[in-house]
Chains A and B, each alone.
Chain A
Amino acid sequence: MHIDPTDPTPIWVQIEDQIRQLVGVGALPRGAAAPSVRELARALRVNPATVSKAYQRLCQQGVLEVRRGEGTFVALHPPRLEEGQRGQVLATAARRYAVAAIAVGASHGQAQEALRQAWPAATDDPEERP
């Protein structure tokens, strides 16, 4: 996990997204303990309040849950995204990808091929990416 300072999205969004992704690919197994706010803040070198905010939202969304006296854990049953939400996320990401592809002068077919090739890599545990 890392924070990209040149990414215009707010840090807590980045944290949120990355945790959601980790949970989604199984790098953070269900029921496992999530990294504490303190550890994560230190590791990422960000304000713990920012981490707290991300965690709060993830709790609201049901991705993480707080067990009194024990800490924060990955929910046993992380929710699936609703169709509408998923569609929105896909559309935004797809638009961005399309723009990037066109910017380098790629064709529709080349963009699709690249996407197909990238898919397996993305589903791997991001911690093991070289």
Chain B
Amino acid sequence: MSLVAVIGLELRQWVKIYPVAAGIGVLAAATPWLPGIGRDPEVWDRWLAATVVAFALAIGTALVRGATMVGGELWLKRASFLYARPLAASSIWAGKYLGTLALSWGSAALAVFPTALAALVRGRWAELEWLPAIPLAVATLATLAAAHVAGVALASQSRLVLAELIALAVAIWVGFRLLEGVLRWEAPQIAGWTLGTTVLVLFALLLAAGWVQMAWGRCDALRGHRVQALVLWSGVTVVLGALAVWGAFLAAATPRSLRTVTVARPGPERWLFVGGRSWGRADAEAAFLFNTRTSNWRAVGPWKGWEEHITFSANGTRAAWVAPQFSWGVPEWQLFLANLAGPTPEVRATPHAFASKDVPQRLALSPDGSRLLLVEEKRAEVYECDPWRRVGSLALPSGFVITARFRDPEKVRLRMFLPLATGGDERRGEFILADWRIADQQWREVWRSHETLSGMWKSVENESGTRLLLHRREQGNREVQLYDTDHGEPVATLGRWPEGEIGRGFFCADGRVVLGVREDGVGLLRVFSAQGVPLASWRLTAGGRPRPMAEPTVGVVLVSLPQESFGQTVGRAYELVELSSGQRRPLPAGYVPQGVTWGDGYPAPGSLAARLLLSPGGGLALLDGKSGVITPLLGRP
């Protein structure tokens, strides 16, 4: 076959490289025995020399031979040798490529062979995995195709080559910018697919350009250069255009195009910070500010799991968040503010930027939306939102800040836990409730008690901050106590339950307290008055401990009930329980309350957060507490 003949010709001309490669390979295998490396060196030591040499030989051969096998022949006017014979252009192309690959890979294999033989002789088969065969093969082929094209360009001695070099630089720059637009979504599926396709297409373009040069350029260097440049550059333009379109498509997601919702952080009124996956965009998640009443929305950008850094002001006019900004190196986090007062939100970035380790732990907005609180590791700062300027700063003692929020634009309420300084149980420490007047540089203690950390996470304040529900650990039991924080006095002890039998509870709109407990193996919802007087005890489950989640409508509580099977919790069911009557209405299967986050407390009664559900299809829905009607909101119902 003529193809084999062409390959053979190529090999015959350069067969001298094989003995050279074998010689170098023996040298490389002998490096472990060089003085200064040690008798039995690390595996990678042995293979390092061999791999480096193999790569150098393979890439070097591909580079030199790639440029000379066509470009060199055109330059020396020897190209007509093969073309004046009955050989199809494809055969010449394939023959030269395969011949050069045989030289390239063959010499690499010979360079590695002595080292491989040394490993095999000692029975160390596993060591062979140290050889990066696939990357070597791919890199060689890519180098070959690129060298071919470059060689022809040089042989044509055309002035176009200068323009091409400039175009190359521009294309690379543009390509990186466009790739940024895709990679900033931090979606591995998308990134992998986009990068993989781009690389493959560029690879195919190089090969196509080379083939076109050989089929239509033949012995004419100028024409060959022109046709290959045409193929290459039109292809590159198409690739860049496709990347641009793809990037634009990714960025063009709307709340309506959401399919599955992965973040839904409701504001106090109608605004919702929502994000998730949209149709056709695989795992790229876009976030939006969405108004559930007017359906106005604004895109916020790519989203990836930083929901703890989203906050709304109590009056619903402002939102703030800290989001990571994509960069090729270490990502930086940027602080954003959104003005929700108008029909469409305005989003702007503040001058504040953080390194990953410096991202603030707590973010809070004042109730009127005018001020922003940032709690970092050793400091808390308050900023005026419009215009952006710092108005207060506070040094914090080392410990945990459980919550931090504004009581009014001038005062911040902090809940802190300071572990014991020395010895003892680290999980015990001082629980401090403090007020910070922003104008001062210090905080004023409102409450202090000695508590355990786990108890701290379960402590709950009411909306106005006048009441506190505290879980104290007492000899293996938990005592739940109700406090009046304005006067610093206990109001009542709601009860004592063994560890594990009492969960969190919260304050209802009218001041009633609900707790989810288990007594005698029965799950109960205990209701107490604002003064701590037990009002009702509703039996909900025959084993699992119910967890009250929110109050979608005044007087109706959404409860999460564990489904147990042989003592293990296998799932959760959700029910609406009417506090006064104990009437229960289960939610349809598949719906999960979405607005409840366990960090800051519990959703305000009747708020969007209390009514937000995740639908079985992955979308969002709204629950009417009174009627139990569920209305789809966004995404797949």
Please tell me whether chains A and B touch each other in their complex, using a CB distance cut-off of 8 A: no
